[in-house]
Structure 1
Amino acid sequence: MLGFYNAVPSLLWSALGLVPLTIFCYQHVARPWLYGFIIVSLLAYGLPFSRFRRLQLGASVGLYQKLGVPRLNHFTQHGTLINWLIRRQYPQYRRVRTRASLAGFARATYYQEQFHLVMFVFFLLVSVYAVVRGNLGWAMLLTFLNVLYNVYPMWLQQYLRLRLAGAPKPDK
């Protein structure tokens, strides 16, 4: 049941971001360009996690709060709304119970940020392609979706790590 609760927002966000992107790529992007964009985007998986600190907006949660990043956490997998729904059925549920689960959670934020960085690069390349080809409406839509589907989720992972750094550590 936990997997189901967490899959729903992930599927909804992915549909919102990826369906328009897929439609544009299928209808307008020449295949050699599409394959090149995919390859260039996948290169972001080679970026070591130590470099992700350079992408961070700041060393405190203040700027993230001003940008509304914590509000996004209400509507994501493992977010406050999903955790509330799970705790209604399983009151003892806690995602982070031990030091090991805390470390696993921190690692997961890097993997999620890395995925959204790869997708950010792909969306960006396709958006630039749309501008060059004169599809300004598509370019604006894809740029908006890039911010919503990739930039804010990357900021959310950074925000969560900053919150973890300041949180008391579990005993075990």
Structure 2
Amino acid sequence: MSVTVRTKQLLVALTLCFFALPVAGKTEQILTVEANGKIASYTLQDLSNLPQAFVKTRNNYVDDITTFSGPTLRSILEQNGIGPNDDIELHALNDFFVSAPAKDAYNYNVILAILMNEKEMSVRDKGPIWVIYPIDEHPELNDDIYNGRLVWQLDKITLK
């Protein structure tokens, strides 16, 4: 086999891999929910296929009013049998976690943001999932307690 043919084959293989990367990223598990003895897994595609909610707000980690979108936390909790009287833990990729009452998701439009200003968020940019509270819509949410629940790089929700 000549060097030219081998080089062309290598370029074709690399091109195919390059175009497959975005698809692979959407099919990898990025969120698990542990509740009632069961574990549910979600990919970015799974979360994208759910009804999307939008929250336009600011918080301590963005300078301007920012548009976030993704499924509601409530929808994920309901799918997994977690009700408003339960307590949950929100876990991040770096092993940080915070406890929160599930009622937050039932009382407010809390979302699992997968887009910020219509763009997917990388791990470096607080993604792929960032828990967002609608702070600007509800002045009572502009508090350190809720600010501490804005978990970025969310990868697991557990029922306590």
What TM bracket, shorter-length normalisation?
under 0.3
* Structure in which a larger fraction of residues adopt strand: 2
Provide TM-score, normalisation by structure 2.
Answer: 0.27
Higher relative contact order (CA 8 A, sep 6+): 1
Provide TM-score, normalisation by structure 1.
Answer: 0.26
Q: Which structure would you say has the larger Rg?
A: 2
